[in-house]
Structure formats: C-alpha cells, structure tokens
Amino acid sequence: MLVIVTTTQKRMDAPTVRQVQCKSILGESGICDFAVNCYTGCEHACTYCYARFMGRFHHADKPWGSFVDAKVNAPEVLERQLQRRGLFGGGSVFMSSVCDAYQPAEREFGLTRRCLELLVQAGYNVHVQTKSALVQRDFDLLGGRENASLCMTLASADAAVTAWTEPNASPPQDRIETLKLAAKAGVQIKAFVGPLLPGLTDTQESLEALFAQLAKLPLAEVYVDRLNLRWGVWPAVSHALARFAPHALAATKAMLFSASPSRSYNRSLRVTVRQAAEKAGLKAPMNMVL
C-alpha cells in the first residue's frame, strides 16, 4: 500500500472552486498529440506559470492561483470523444498542459483519475507532468505500462525557494520521494528541471544540490529549461523577485528582454548544467530545451 506524503508548502488562501461543464476535453496539443485539462486554473499558483494567460478568459478579475474550475463532466465527455475516434484512434496524451492535473482539487473530484483510466484502457500513451505527491494515488494505473510515464517538475531542492516560487505545490522532498515510490511501483519516471531563474535556481550550487538527489533515481530522461517570456509572466516574476530575491531582478530582466544577453545566457546555462550534472553524478539522458 502506497502512502501519500505531505503535499503542502506555505499555503495561499483557499481558491474559489467552481463546478463547470465542458463540451470537449481531448484537445490538440503541441507537446503530445493531445492534452487533457480537467481543471481551468491551478491552485499551485507558481510565480512563473506559463498558463496564467488562461486567466484572461476565465476570472479576469482574480489573481492566478485563486480560482479553479473543475470540469465535472470531463470523464463522460472524454469517453464520448474516445468512442468517436474509434478503436484505432490512439496517440499520445499530455496531462496536463494548462493546469496541474494533481492540484489539491483533484483529491476531491478525482477527474484526472477517471480520465486516466479511460485513456490507458483505450491504449493511449499517457504522459503525466506534475508537482504534486497526489499522483501516488494513481500509481496503480501508471505502473507496469510502457505507454505511461510520470514527469515530476523540480526547479530546486530548496524548500525555502519553492515556498514562494511554487507556494501550493508539494515541497521538493515530497516530489523526490514520489519519484522514488513511482519507480518502485514500476512507473517510468522523468524529471523536468525548470523553468530556472537566473541567479537563484540556475546556479551551479543549486543545480548540483538538486542533481545529487536526482542522480539516485532511475530516471528515463531529464529535461532542463530556462525561464521564458510568456503572457503575464514578467509582472508576476518581477513582483516576486523584488520581494524575495531582489539580487536576481536585474539579471532576469536582461536575460528576458535583451537578445544578446539571452543568447549568451543560454550558452552559459548549458555549461553550468553539464558541469553540475557531472559533479553530482547525474547520468540520466539530458534534454536541454534551451
């Protein structure tokens, strides 16, 4: 029997959770063939979240992280869409692209689990990416399958940093423990290291500390990414940096807004990542999305 480890850091105020109906749930995606997002909004409230553009279309008056719309008919809609695609439809499905499929609301609604069940039964390749230890609940569906994988996002092993960069996600140690348990349960595991913040989580010291822990895991692949400019990201990140890490503000601004510093940043980050991986003994295949 698996035990779900603690799942909270420093919590923001509870979000407003609404139950809504959706018309479609299996959408095309640039990451896999399809993406399934059972929730609009994400309670994890990461400062750098690229999905915050969703807030323009839903709850424009509320800050990102403060609302969650649970698509309570998602499993029924998915079942219909899969039936329409037929027996040989197939393809790869990313869970999830604009929310965390295992954010706290999933504990109550179980929508991700029910959709996951349908997808694996229908033979789709399912790639789960999360920052939540709650995914342990679904190891029975993900384990022992070639067509399923779990990718844990981890930009830092330092809980003092993630407490303000990813305030409502599981603490880093719980994510690492979850990967360990996933491997034991026969789940193919991966790590997504990013988006890295200049002068904060992209330093040799920070990366080495994280990689030293990842090196102990049988990871199929490690992805590394820097911070990129997306809608609404700079206002949120600059606000958080000014408050928690003012020393990193100028470097982050230069890296994001000037072409030349941005290119040289990519080059030096690749070197730092390689050196940190070597020193930490991280041997898993590395894919730098830089």
Binding site residues, ligand SF4, CB under 6 A: 42, 44-46, 49, 51, 99-100, 131, 166, 169
Nearer to ligand SF4, 174 or 208 (CB): 174
Nearer to ligand SF4, 138 or 166 (CB): 166
Nearer to ligand SF4, 85 or 230 (CB): 230
Nearer to ligand SF4, 99 or 269 (CB): 99
Alpha-carbon dihedral sign for residues 67, 72, 75, 81: negative
70 phi and psi, to 5 degrees? -90, 120
- CB of residue 290 vs ligand SF4: minimum separation in angstroms? 18
Tokens of 100: 């965390």
Nearer to ligand SF4, 153 or 272 (CB): 153
Contact 227, 269 (CB under 8 A): no
Distances (CA, A) of 195 to 13, 31, 65, 122, 258: 25, 16, 18, 33, 18
Contact 43, 117 (CB under 8 A): no
Q: Which residue has the tokens 């919590």?
A: 11
- CB of residue 194 vs ligand SF4: minimum separation in angstroms? 10
Nearer to ligand SF4, 51 or 255 (CB): 51
- CB of residue 142 vs ligand SF4: minimum separation in angstroms? 18
- CB of residue 43 vs ligand SF4: minimum separation in angstroms? 8
Nearby residues of 233 by Cβ (< 8 Å), 6 or more positions away: 48, 49, 50, 52, 227
- CB of residue 15 vs ligand SF4: minimum separation in angstroms? 11
Residue spans of beta strands (DSSP E) within 165-278: 188-196, 221-226
- CB of residue 46 vs ligand SF4: minimum separation in angstroms? 3
28 phi and psi, to 5 degrees? -65, 150
